[in-house]
Amino acid sequence: MRLSRYGYLIREGFRSIFTHGFMSFASVTIIMACLIIMGSVSLLSVNIDALIKDLEDENEIVVFVDEEIKDTADAAALQGSIEAVPNVASVQFVSRDDAMDRFMNQYDEDFGVGIDSDVFRHRFVIQLADIALMSSTKAELEAVPGVAKVNAHLEYASFFVTVRNIVSVVSLVLIVILVFVSVFIMSNTIKLATFGRREEIAIMKMVGASNGFIRLPFVVEGLVLGILGGGLAFVAEWGLYSLVSSRLVSGLAGSFISVVSFGTVAMPVFIVYMATGILVGAFGGVNAIRNYLKV
């Protein structure tokens, strides 16, 4: 195919967007709407996941050092062995003096009169990489020489793991359903848009146009509409998300939940929106005219 012919077909694709203005508008709007619904559910799921992760992080394990190890430096030296245990994400050493200070801070000044720091043990406050493995990590920590006792709230851990799993499954199912529904709606809109042009395609076939010649303007048109739909959906999602999250943070909910900033998820959202827009636009266009090419 000559280069000038490609130029003509690409121009035709762009021209067609304007000559079939209403259907182009409908296609872009549907692509946008589907992506925003899909994206909003995904972002809600990301936020719920982050919230659960925050709560999990607050569920610490406390490792008490054997009372035989009195010296602070000796106790602190155990940090290396504890850090070597798999699934340990962070370790913070708390000396018996620090432990007493923390304890005293929670009560009146008079309450601590006469209590000696020897009552408290040196300890390590640990956060885990995966809370689901808390039970096995606890056992491994208990096996570290110099460790007297490990305090871990296994029941909380299993609760969080269950909640996280349910949220993951529910959001995954929801997203998969939405993807199918969206692709179905989007491809049907494009089919509807091309239905009115079946006569035009029949004429092209009758004057001897090859399938490639007929397809290319539809691919260009679908691609442009898809990019437009994906881009506009991204901008709209950005605005919508920022609005809702700022309302949440400034409102009552902001005191107990934190919202994932759009900046941290912007790139993946942009890539997914554009990729979906391009795929649905281009393949939707080709798929929609497939039947009309069989003449």
Residue with smaller CB distance to other proteins, 140 or 200: 200
198 vs 293: CA distance, rounded Å: 9
Handedness of CA 103, 105, 109, 111 (dihedral sign): negative
Q: Give the number of residues in contact with other proteins, rule: CB under 8 A.
A: 20
Residue 170 vs 295, nearer CB to other proteins: 295
Q: How far is the CB of 24 from other proteins (least distance, A)?
A: 13
Find the binder of other proteins among 1, 115, 166, 176 (CB under 8 A). Answer: 1
The least CB distance from residue 295 to other proteins, in Å, is: 6
* Closest to 150 in 3D by CA, of 135, 138, 137: 138
**3 touches other proteins (CB under 8 A):** no
Distance of alpha carbon 96 from alpha carbon 75, whole angstroms: 10
**Considering beta carbons, is residue 13 or 230 the nearer one to other proteins?**
13
| Contact region with other proteins (CB under 8 A), list: 2-10, 26-34, 58-66, 227-235 | 2-10
Length of the chain, in residues: 295
Q: Which stretch binds other proteins (CB under 8 A): 4-12, 78-86, 163-171, 229-237?
A: 4-12
Give residues 31-90 in contact with other proteins (rule: CB under 8 A): none
Sign of CA dihedral 269, 56, 128, 73: positive
Nearer to other proteins, 19 or 162 (CB): 19
162 touching other proteins, by CB under 8 A: no
19 makes contact with other proteins (CB under 8 A) = yes
Tell me which amino acid residue 3 is.
Answer: L
Write down the least CB distance from residue 198 to other proteins, Å: 12
Instruction: Give me the helix-helix angle, 211-250 and 154-195, nearest 10°.
Output: 140
CB of 207 to other proteins, least distance (A): 4
Site for other proteins in 90-119 (CB under 8 A): none
Buried b / exposed e along 151-162 (16+ C-beta atoms within 10 A): ebeeeebeebbe
Nearer to other proteins, 2 or 110 (CB): 2
Residue 212 CB, shortest distance to other proteins, in Å, is: 9
Question: How far apart, in whole angstroms, are the C-alpha atoms of residue 68 and residue 264?
Answer: 48
| 10 is a contact residue toward other proteins (CB under 8 A) | no
8 A C-beta contact, residue 205 and residue 295: yes
Residues 194-253 contacting other proteins, CB under 8 A? 199-200, 202-211, 213
Residue 117 burial by Cβ neighbours in a 10 Å radius (0-12, 13-18, 19+): middle
Q: Which range, of 1-9, 98-106, 109-117, 179-187, touches other proteins by CB under 8 A? A: 1-9
- Which DSSP helix (H) or strand (E) runs through 128? strand 123-128
- CB-based burial of residue 104 (10 Å sphere; 0-12 exposed, 13-18 middle, 19+ buried)? middle
Which range binds other proteins by CB under 8 A, 3-11, 58-66, 83-91, 174-182? 3-11
10 Å CB burial of residue 225 (0-12, 13-18, 19+) is buried
Q: How far is the CB of 197 from other proteins (least distance, A)?
A: 9
Residues that bind other proteins (CB under 8 A): 1-2, 4-5, 8, 19, 199-200, 202-211, 213, 295
